[in-house]
Amino acid sequence: MEQPIRAWHIGEYGEIFAGRCTDEEIKQWFRELISSSGDHSEADEQIAECFEEISQDEMDRERDWHSDDVPDGESADGRSNYRKEAEGGALPCQISTQYN
């Protein structure tokens, strides 16, 4: 049976990352994503600042969505939810950022 999609706020700005993985697996992926030369200190600092799982109810809550809310810009404007955005690509992935 396939693991359900889960999502987490990670870091000072609460960017949202999703995957079909455990807490430890997403932390390890995040470390590899933002670390250079095997130095995980920046990733570990961001994880220490905020690592909060988003509830499954919140994953399904419809909200206004704009293509610039997603780093790859592939999502269309309209209504969506975190689960739909995560299902649209390879997991794990970043599905929302505060910078946009």
Residue with tokens 């250079």: 36
Q: Which residues fall within 8 angstroms of residue 40, CB to CB, at 6 or more apart? A: 31
Q: List the structure tokens of 18.
A: 């999703």
**Residue ranges in the chain assigned as alpha helix (H):** 23-34, 41-49, 56-59, 82-87
Q: What's the rounded Cα separation, in Å, for the pair 52 and 13?
A: 12
Q: What is the mean pLDDT of residues 80-88?
A: 89
Do residues 62 and 34 touch, judged by C-beta distance below 8 A?
Answer: no
> Does the pLDDT value for residue 100 go beyond 50?
no
- The per-residue pLDDT for 70 is 47
